[in-house]
């Protein structure tokens, strides 16, 4: 399977990842994540997942890559920048930056498929599976183990050169590669800007987020007919997702606009007023956001969020 040394194959993969537009690529040894398993179990036991019952499923798959790819030897973690070059108009309901353009699941899956096809064509017939955040993979843990960054107090992966406005993708393979040194330093220090800025007090302590209180969860994951009244005065204008804890993070002063054409902002995302969103028909919504992450809560979910923002 492997004609070249592991370090040569690693260099080849990292070059191709860069060509595909990924801003970083790290490698970790595929192993069971015992410490992360304990943290995840504690998090679930406290009910921080809210109504996201899927977080409780496939626990063994989340912590053991060999359950996803038999004979797994390496976990490749890739970061894809999504920081936009344009911002929303001031009179628009807030939308998380990651949703400005085409749904990242489509974009990243295509790139992962290309990378895996490249590996098979240039290195050998290997087994591998690519994952974006919808799969049972602890991608942030693998990113840390791959030397790409550390987990900030807001629960996001942070990097010294690019902040946190990026997607994390994972490729698990049975190919032996040269592992990077895990990231061991927390560069948040005594900073608490994200904790102090969160209007719903969702960050309960360093690197622990009560998702059931997070505005992103309330506007996207929560399927109830109404957002709980205790949060109505705390939505801070957010209609879809939330970037507050990232916007205030000092490390994001280093964020640079992405160069991925698919992430070019949809005109309506940047410019529609609250009234225009409220007047939008379900048919128009489906057409405009067919390939957008904004379609996730569906038209009814967006209308519910608009009513909450207006209060």
Query: What values do phi and psi take at 148, rounded to 5?
Result: -90, -25
Per annotation, catalytic residue among 60, 103, 110, 133: 133
Residue 149: both structure tokens together: 């960054």
Q: Which residues pair with 238 in a beta bridge?
A: 94
Distance from C-alpha of 112 to C-alpha of 259, rounded to nearest angstrom: 17
Q: How many residues are given for the chain?
A: 311
Does the annotation count 133 as an active-site position? yes
Q: How far is CA 181 from CA 34, 39, 94, 301, in A?
A: 18, 22, 38, 43
- Can you say whether residue 298 is alpha, beta or left, with left for phi > 0 and alpha for psi between -120 and 50 degrees? left
**Which residue is associated with the tokens 């994540």?**
33
Residues with active-site annotation: 133
């Amino acid at each position: 399977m492997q004609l070249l040394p592991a370090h040569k194959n690693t260099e080849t993969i990292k070059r191709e990842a860069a060509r595909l537009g990924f801003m970083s690529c790290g490698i970790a040894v595929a192993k069971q994540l015992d410490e992360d398993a304990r943290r995840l179990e504690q998090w679930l036991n406290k009910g921080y997942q809210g109504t996201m019952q899927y977080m409780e499923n496939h626990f063994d798959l989340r912590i053991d890559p060999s359950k996803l790819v038999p004979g797994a030897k390496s976990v490749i973690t890739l970061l894809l920048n999504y920081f936009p070059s344009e911002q929303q108009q001031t009179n628009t309901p807030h939308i998380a930056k990651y949703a400005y353009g085409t749904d990242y699941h489509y974009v990243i899956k295509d790139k992962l498929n290309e990378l895996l096809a490249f590996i098979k064509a240039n290195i050998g017939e290997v087994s591998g599976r690519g994952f974006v955040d919808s799969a049972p993979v602890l991608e942030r843990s693998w990113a840390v183990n791959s030397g790409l960054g550390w987990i900030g107090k807001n629960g996001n992966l942070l990097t010294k050169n690019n902040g946190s406005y990026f997607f994390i993708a994972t490729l698990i393979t049975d190919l032996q590669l040269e592992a990077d040194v895990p990231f061991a330093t927390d560069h948040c220090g005594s900073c608490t800007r994200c904790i102090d800025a969160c209007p719903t007090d969702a960050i309960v302590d360093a690197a622990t987020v009560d998702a059931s209180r997070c505005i992103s969860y309330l506007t996207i994951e929560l399927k109830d007919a109404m957002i709980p009244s205790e949060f109505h005065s705390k939505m801070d204008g957010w209609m879809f997702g939330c970037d507050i804890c990232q916007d205030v993070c000092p490390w994001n002063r280093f964020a640079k606009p992405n160069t991925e054409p698919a992430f070019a902002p949809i005109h309506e995302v940047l410019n529609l007023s609250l009234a225009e969103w409220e007047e939008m028909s379900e048919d128009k919504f489906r057409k405009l956001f067919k390939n957008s992450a904004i379609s996730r809560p569906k038209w009814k979910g967006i209308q519910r969020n608009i009513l909450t923002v207006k209060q």
